[in-house]
A and B are shown apart, each in its own frame.
Chain A
Amino acid sequence: MRDIEAPEIGDLLDTAESMKEIATREIKKVPTLRGKTVVNLFYENSTRTRTSFEIAGKWLSADVINFSASGSSAEKGESFLDTARNIEAMSPDVVVVRHKAAGGPALLARHLKCSVVNAGDGAHEHPTQALLDLLTIREKKGHLEGLNVTIVGDITHSRVARSNIYGMRKMGMTVTVAGPPTLIPPACQEMGVKVSHRLEEAIAHADVIMMLRLQHERMTGGFIPSLREYSRVWGLGLDRLQHCRPDVLIMHPGPVNRGVEISPEVADSPYSVILDQVTNGVAVRMAVLYLLAGGKAA
């Protein structure tokens, strides 16, 4: 999201919006990517992203192959690049990569001739998530420019936050990040966001609140005193929701840890658009696959 500009984001969102109609059809398939092969190369666990890339590819008539590191030759000691080169030898058109190392997909893009899509690399970026979040906000609010967004939680380890901050700033939105100081990276201000260490203050005027999960798998030391303490100070429950704007949108990229960062009542409330985000994920990934199938890098 760092290297893509506002007009391109707008085009991607427009294309995704057109793709949504296909999901409403009785026969959810168009012949656009017939004869193309999409390989999902996932080195990290995923429910939503992998499934929605798979559905997106299949609705566009591409052949989609799923590869996950566990159960593959990666466990026998094959390197990431060697695995990717072997996959490439089977001539796919698009490789969708998720990797725990930041820059993993970029490394592949340099070495492979086919198109490479970043489906999340470490704590770096998750561009299609940011695009589906923008699509959801634009759909619900009618526009993006001028909106106030507050992202709450583990900003340091969140590729979703990073991609969203780049994207939202480019679309003219104001972004506030809120969380315990240990989970807010010091370089935040350079990305043009406001920092808040009080949840009530950060969410009071927000049009959109995005709650993030604590990424225990990326945490190396003691970032928070305890889960219960975190939940009490930074969790979004009905009591805190009362102080928000009446038209606030509650978002969460998933997986949701109910009762930690968000209470079940809020996650299932009418303010919550968490499942709309998932629906839009398929449309956004269809748009990305469609635009890449012309053979040009994006």
Chain B
Amino acid sequence: MSTREKAEVLDQAGLDRALTRIGHEIVEQAGGADLALVGIKTRGETLAARIAQKIAGIEGKRPAVGALDITLYRDDLGTRAEQPQVRSTEIPFSLKGLTVVLVDDVLFTGRTIRAAMDALMDLGRPRVIRLAVLVDRGHRELPIRPDYVGKNLPTSRKETVAVMLAEHDGQDRVVIQEPEEGEPQPAAGARVKGEVPVPRTMRPTKKGRE
């Protein structure tokens, strides 16, 4: 049950360029005023901070950055074998009237984004919500479409997309992995879209994934 790296999609320079472009696109469309970036934990939070840095370089002013944990809004709680770990939401500013750009690493089924929008609405009433993702890998199950995309990446459902960021994984890289045999497995350290960290309390003795 091992995976093989099929292709490198973005290297460090490519990833950085994609974020720079997203930063420019956001500023062009939304302007720098009344703007907030909200990253979806964990890697979306890191990406949001990096894009904010890019925008600061362009506009001279860093937009507000928050982090959202969507665990409590998931639509598959109770259907999974284990309960995912809840982490905290940190949005220390009012969302009222702001243009909020949600930031995530990989857009897949769209269910995470649905949950994130519900979570944002409970926290306040933004003027607009937009969506920025580093990779759009297709296979949407809900009518959700990103506004800013780092890389469009057609994938098969069997493959996994691993986003590695220096802050978490020691390097900046995006790769496609495919199963060698059996189930797909993530690269060491990298979180694969769809897999959720689980608290030890609920962890089964055998490593079971959906």
Contacts and interface: CB of A to CB of B under 8 A. Distances in A.
Interface string A5-42: 00110111011011111100111011110000000000
A190 B119 CA distance: 48
B199 A14 contact: yes
B80 interface: yes
B118 interface: yes
Contacts of A22: 72
B69 A18 contact: yes
A21 B72 CA distance: 12
Interface in A138-174: none
**A contact face: mostly helix, strand, loop, or mixed:** helix
B50 to A, nearest CB: 24
Interface stretch (B8-16, B27-35, B85-93, B99-107): B85-93
Contact of A11 (B88, B90, B119, B201): B201
11 contacts: A12-B201, A17-B88, A21-B89, A31-B72, A31-B118, A32-B77, A290-B83, A291-B199, A291-B202, A293-B78, A294-B78
B73 A31 contact: yes
Identify the interface centre among A22, A30, A295: most chain B CB within 10 Å of its CB: A30
A10 B85 CA distance: 12
A106 interface: no
Contact of B200 (A8, A25, A296): A8
Nearest to A28: B122
B178 interface: no
A245 B77 CA distance: 46
Contacts, number: 69
Interface residues of B, number: 24
Contacts of A290: 72, 83, 86
Interface in A23-74: 25-27, 29-32, 60
B82 interface: yes
A14 B118 CA distance: 23
A169 to B, nearest CB: 19
B144 interface: no
Contacts of A15: 85-86, 199
Per CB-CB distance, the 8 closest pairs between chain A and chain B, nearest first, are A11-B199, A294-B83, A18-B88, A30-B72, A32-B72, A18-B86, A8-B201, A7-B200
Nearest to A33: B77
Nearest to A292: B83
A21 B92 CA distance: 11
A224 interface: no
Contacts of A31: 72-73, 118
A163 to B, nearest CB: 17
A278 B190 CA distance: 39
Interface in B135-172: none
